[in-house]
Structure 1
Amino acid sequence: MERLTYLAYLMFFILGFTTTLFGVTLIDICTTYQVDPYIIGYLLALLPIGSTAAMPMSGWLLDRKALKPVLMAALFIMFSSISIMIAYHQIALFASCMLILGVSNGMIISIANYIIVHLYNNQERPARLNLLNFCYSFGAVTAPLMSGSFAHLFPWQFFFTFALLLLLVIAGFSLTTKFNVVRESLAQHPPAVEEAWAKSVYIIGTALFFYVLSEYIVVNWAAAYFRQNLSMTTESVSLILFFFFILMAIGRFFSGIIVQYLKVERYLLLCSTLAVLSFIGLLTAHAYLTMLLTAAVMGFSYAGIYASLLSYGTQQLSRPSSKLITFLITTGSTGGITGLFLSGLVTQFSGVLPCLIISMTAMSLVTFAVLWVRSLSTASAYPDPCKKIS
């Protein structure tokens, strides 16, 4: 059981590492492919598109195939796409690799969450899911630290080769791991032929959509707001973002501990409300120290919301459901794609500040959604809104 848990953690670490690595090596990649940065930026959008498209397929496969072959297929697809990107420097191949890599990312996200949801119940599930997301943050922090320390010694291909070695380690770890615990869980809770979900499931799915949309806009446009609207230096903006991301990573670690002692809906209400208040503070602050403090609080508040919402959604059923996991992850991922296009459209015609206000509004809708679910009589007792239809 613990070995499977560590396997899920390793999968999320490699996802965080590779996804962030594209951002920190973007200029070097542009130089190799001899294109402008905006072209690579557009092509990187194929990652979330491929990931979102793969999630329903992953849910279908996990219901019908053994877990280990599906995982090995995902690792093989990821290994192949990165290898081709390193070996062949053609922009059309790069675009294809981004889409294929996105597919493997979507499969790995589904598999890792599937493992945790099947292994853990009650308060331990949100704790483990938050630790899973912490591993993603740990990988995301490792990538810029590694590239920043060794970029003057090695080309960008070296760091992606390191990712390939990590994939081989994960593949070897997977081959030597027994998946009996997951099979036993499936035997006890076989997938229903058809499922009818209560309203609470769809509300939580909508909350995941708004959360991911909000986080995407903050992560991608906060720096532009500080640079363009407040005329801050690169160093000053970098420090604000550092406080945000480092507290988000720390928050994801500690949120796994907090939710063991605090009900998940209370934790969600606390974090989402605090996120909105810190958002307001960040946009209205004039003192630089205040900006640093509100960015830190904001990062800590955002940290545990995604995993806790995902766990909250799965708790609406008394048994694990791959269909439900797939639905929740896919709706969240759709929020990221929506944020990608919506933020670009809004900033083009109205500027960065309205874009950030949309992000803040989306987070406030997360708070409203949790309050709505909490008010429903079915949510308080966690009955099973999933019924087999004969």
Structure 2
Amino acid sequence: MKKLIWIGCLSYFVIGLAHVVLGSILPVLLQHYDRSYSAGGELIFSQFAGFLAGVLVSPLLNRRFGKRGGILIATGLLLCAEIAYAFLPPWGWMYVIAVAAGFGFGMIEAVIGTIIIAAVTEGTAVAMSRLEVLFGVGALLMPLAASPLIAAGQWRLAFLIVAAFSLLSLLFWAKSRFGPLDSTLNERSARPDRAAAAGTTRKLSLPYKGKQWVVLGLFILFFFLYVGTEMSLVNFMPAIFIAKLGMSEAAAALTVTFFWLAMSAGRLFAGVIAEKISYRIYVLVSCFAALLLLIIFPFASHRLAAFAIILLLGLFMSGIFSIALVFSSKLLPGAEESTPSIMIASGGIGGAVLPLLTGWSMDHLQIAQTSGLLAAFAALLFVLSVTAWRIG
């Protein structure tokens, strides 16, 4: 089990790198292609459309190739996509590559998250927080590596960093053995005949009843808003700091590092705190703090104050995803196999749609208005967290 968790952590580290590599170099990437921030939003949209496809298709590929086979396919696709990014092909091809990259890390996240939540029966929040810590480490190291590459004019090498760690993860999954869990990871479903397929279809219907559908809908919207807000922040934060505070592109890339540094630090304790104070209180307090900080952010006119807000924002947002994922699964007993994938998929839609809207606002509205848009997302998130608190 420990080996599975740690190799899962490596995969989450890789998808942390992959999630933010575009945002870390987005200003110089758009400058290279002579494109607007709206085009940047479309690129992020394409990547998260691929993410959503990866999450939705993962159960089919898992049944055909096994969970290990599915992870190998997804990691291999991510590896190829990041190498293709580094060649800086014509802009139209960047959308295709973005879909492939998103498909890869979306499927990786869905499969590993499902395995951990189903396999770890005690301390589930702690195990998920450990994965999220490594996600955060990858997300903070990527812009830290990108900053000197941007300064040196070699920013395309950032994609090859992701490719190198994708290859390492691919080798670990291909060669590692997990004892009794191997049968679960390698299990494939036989192709059924028509009669069996009909029975299987009935068995595979979503296991939700009555009020559970209300809870499911609530958390679908919650994850849509949360992931969309987080991805808007990490992908457009450097651009916001450039426009708001006049920072250089290399220095602005470090804002994402500060954000993920705080996220990673917070995730070290998020699981333990949530287990002590309850999942519902943790999610409620975290969403309220995020709302307050995003309301204050437009009024921060000095770099020190803006960086302090970003650090606090990362700290309070650090555990929302993983704890809410466990919280939703606990509120929907008997659906542990389907709930994580549905929540991650809804997050993928939010991660595609809201950055598209944020990119448009960067081109057509003032920076303060774009910041206000992010605060509006957080306000809706807080309202949903209050509702979840009452249910839980």
Alignment TM-score > 0.5, same fold: yes
Alignment-derived partner of residue 347 in structure 2: 332
Instruction: Tell me the residue number matched to 1:13.
Output: 13
Deviation at residue 251 of structure 1 after TM alignment: 1.4
The alignment partner of 1:205 has SS state of: helix
Percentage identity across aligned positions? 19
Post-superposition offset of 1:37: 4.7
State the partner residue of 2:162: 163
Moved more, 250-259 or 341-350: 341-350
User: 2-side partners of 1:210 and 1:375: how far apart?
Assistant: 19
More off after superposition, 242-251 vs 52-61: 242-251
On the 8 A contact 2:291/2:375 being kept in 1, the answer is yes
CA distance in 2, matches of 1:8, 1:56: 20
Tell me which residue corresponds to 1:143. Answer: 142
The separation in 1 between residues aligned to 2:99 and 2:10, in whole angstroms, is 22
In 2, are the aligned partners of 1:20 and 1:140 still within 8 Å (CA)? Answer: yes
Corresponding residue of 2:226: 211
Change (3 A) 1:17 1:290: closer
Q: Taking structure 1 as reference, are residues 59 and 360 closer, same or farther at Cα in structure 2, changes over 3 Å only?
A: farther
Of 178, 190, 193 in structure 1, the residue corresponding to residue 204 of structure 2 is: 193
Answer yes or no: is 1:175 the counterpart of 2:174. Answer: yes
1:71 and 2:71 correspond: yes
Tell me, yes or no, if the aligned pair for 1:227 and 1:237 is still in contact at 8 Å: yes
**How far does residue 238 in structure 1 lie from its aligned partner after superposition?**
6.8
C-alpha distance in structure 2 between counterparts of 1:163 and 1:241, whole Å: 16
Q: What amino acid sits opposite 2:138 in the alignment?
A: G
Report the residue type matching 2:175 in the other structure.
Answer: T
Residue by residue over 1:149-186, the C-alpha shift from the partner in whole angstroms, topping out at 9 and shown as x without a partner, is 56788945655444333233222211233353375699
Q: Does the 8 Å CA contact 2:67/2:186 hold for their aligned counterparts?
A: no
Q: 2:61: which partner in 1?
A: 61
If the length of structure 1 is used for normalisation, what is the TM-score? Answer: 0.81
Equivalence for 2:286: 271
The structural deviation recorded for 1:342 is 2.0
Query: Does structure 2 retain, via aligned residues, the 8 Å contact 1:268–1:309?
Result: yes
**Distance of aligned partners of 1:348 and 1:95 in 2 relative to their CA distance in 1, 3 Å threshold:** closer
Sort the Cα spacing of 1:162 and 1:215 in 2 relative to 1 into closer, same or farther, 3 A.
Answer: closer
Residue 341 (structure 1) shift: 2.4
Render the CA deviation track for 1:94-135: whole Å, top value 9, x for unaligned: 43222212211211111121222122235x222222222221
Contact 1:5–1:115 at 8 Å: present in 2 too? Answer: no
- RMSD over aligned CA atoms reads 3.5
Cα separation, 2, equivalents of 1:250 and 1:202: 31
- With normalisation by structure 2, the TM-score equals 0.80
Using a 3 Å threshold, how does the CA distance of structure 1 residues 117 and 350 change in structure 2: closer, same or farther? same
* 8 A contact 1:275–1:363 mirrored in 2: yes
**Cα separation, 2, equivalents of 1:311 and 1:186:** 25
Task: Name the CA shift for 1:140/1:116 in 2 (closer, same or farther; >3 Å).
Answer: same
Unaligned runs of 5+ in 2: 188-199
Q: Which residue of 1 aligns with 2:33?
A: 35
Q: Note the C-alpha offset of 1:225.
A: 4.9
Corresponding residue for 1:133?
132
1:261: Cα distance to partner? 2.4
| Paired position in structure 1 for 2:120 | 120
Cross-structure match for 1:364: 379
Letter in 1 for 2:221: T
Contact 1:214 1:363 in 2 (8 A): yes
Residue 171 to residue 294, structure 1, CA distance change in 2 (3 Å): closer
Give the unaligned 5+ runs of structure 1. Answer: 380-390
- Give the equivalent residue in structure 1 for 2:100: 100
String of CA shifts for 1:361-390, please: whole Å, max 9, x gaps.
3223223223223323xx4xxxxxxxxxxx
